[in-house]
Structure 1
Amino acid sequence: MPEFSDEAEVTHVAKRDMRVALLAHRRRLTAADRAEAAARVQAELVALVRRLRPIRMTAYVPVGSEPGGPELPDVLHAALPPGGELLLPVLRPDLDLDWAGYAGPDTLTAAGRGMREPTGPRLGPSVITDVDLLVVPALAVDRRGLRLGRGGGSYDRALARVRESALTVVPLHDGELVPAVPAEPHDRPVSAVVTPADGLRTLDAAGQGVAPHTSAGRTRGA
């Protein structure tokens, strides 16, 4: 037991230090850098949504220097097929994630931690089990698909509910796809990343990049 506790503390410190470095790098990006990165990330994700035609997907509202820009929900919502639904996260008091449908920028409200959340009916944490495509935030992702979040554990809980056939994609700035991030047993891998320079890149547990996905669970035909 002491060995496990020591190892967990080392991992916690390593995660904290990596977060500090990554956030500092993001703060150094100029407004022009962020805008250019957002445009490229949005274009890649829109192309993915149009190709996969998901019935239901999730995203979030990027804030500050997060890649994708604050318009990300709008551009993804517009790319969905007729009847497609975009869900955005709602942070619960226990730091788990609830979800609500996105119906335009006027339906968002300011929430804790600088986030903006939808004001529509809450659909419950388990609705994520019925999602085809998930766009989720992270500070970095490694080549095994393990992501480094901001430390609250909200997305680790949410990703634990996602079915295996769903596609999970993280928008990143260039340089944030890294060889390895410190990992703990509860950390959940993602399927792919999108970066401004390299576009969509899928990942596997062996740490090797593979070809882009052509389907994501339950999708509409062309």
Structure 2
Amino acid sequence: MSQLDPDGPTARRSPLDAIAAGDDVAGRKEAVRRAVRRARSAAPEARRLAADGARAARALALVDELLAPGSVIACYLSTAEEPGTLGLVESLRAGGHRVLAPVLGGLPDGRPRHDVAWAWYEGPEALAPGLWSIPDPTGEALPARALAQADLVLVPALGVGLDGSRVGAGGGWYDRALRHVRPGTPCWALVNDDEVADRMPREPHDRPVDGIITSTRAVATPGP
């Protein structure tokens, strides 16, 4: 049986619908970011952990449905207030999949890293605090084109629209990274239920996502 939401991409009213509406695209994006960060920081830890577990279960079910054993999955490594992925990537690895994770920290000589890079996730013991305390894999850094190996990409977001529109953190890292994804490779966003709206403000460089995973549903979108 399909793991996708049987109701399809039907809107469930979100507080972000009103915030995301309007003509000032840059201003609306910032308003979405502020609202979501404020809500995430106020969420009780127990609620966050419960949502993380349910969302990971839905993501794993989707992986089982879409991918063959031993596939490559690119996935972000979460901070404390983001939709959690640290348990998810460990489950993926334990299930025989290979996981590519972003490398966001500095270069070996101490200079900051501005390019897109990836590394293989090799377990929680092979992580170190990176930029903004985001976990960084400590293995060999791979170039941006390594993303072409991925059969599925799981991306972070601060808000996602049911039309596939996505608001990220604002640094443009995934806009640059996703240029290297193989054509046809699905890209899904992991968010909380109240971070899904009808649509998000979108600029020409924004790459839409193909689906949304929350703790209660997995919804395919129209995609790019």
TMscore range, shorter length: 0.7 to 0.9
Q: Say which of 56, 64, 68 aligns to 1:42.
A: 56
Q: Structure 2 regions of 5+ residues with no counterpart? A: 1-22, 106-111
Q: Say which of 47, 70, 85 aligns to 2:98.
A: 85
Equivalent position of 2:78 in the other structure? 62
Compare relative contact order (CA 8 Å, sep 6+) and give the higher one, 1 or 2.
Answer: 2
Cα shift at 1:144: 1.7
Cα shift at 1:127: 0.9
Q: Structure 1 regions of 5+ residues with no counterpart? A: 1-8, 207-222
Equivalent position of 1:202 in the other structure? 220
Q: Say which of 137, 140, 151 aligns to 1:132.
A: 151
Mapping of residues 165-204 of structure 1, within 5 Å: 165-198=184-217, 200-204=218-222
Equivalent position of 1:112 in the other structure? 131
Q: Deviations over 1:53-81 (max 9, x none)?
A: 2521111211122113532321222233x
Residues 12 and 182 of structure 1, relative CA distance in 2, 3 Å threshold: same
Give the paired residue count. Answer: 194
Residues 14 and 164 of structure 1, relative CA distance in 2, 3 Å threshold: same
Q: Percent identity?
A: 34
TM-score (norm 1): 0.81
Q: Deviations over 1:133-160 (max 9, x none)?
A: 1111011111221111110000011112
Residues 205 and 70 of structure 1, relative CA distance in 2, 3 Å threshold: closer
C-alpha contact 1:67 1:173 (8 A) present in aligned 2: yes
For 2:183 and 2:38, how far apart are their aligned partners in 1?
34
Residues 47 and 79 of structure 1, relative CA distance in 2, 3 Å threshold: farther
Cα shift at 1:89: 0.3
Query: Alignment RMSD, CA only?
Result: 1.9
For 1:78 and 1:44, how far apart are their aligned partners in 2?
16
C-alpha contact 2:209 2:223 (8 A) present in aligned 1: no
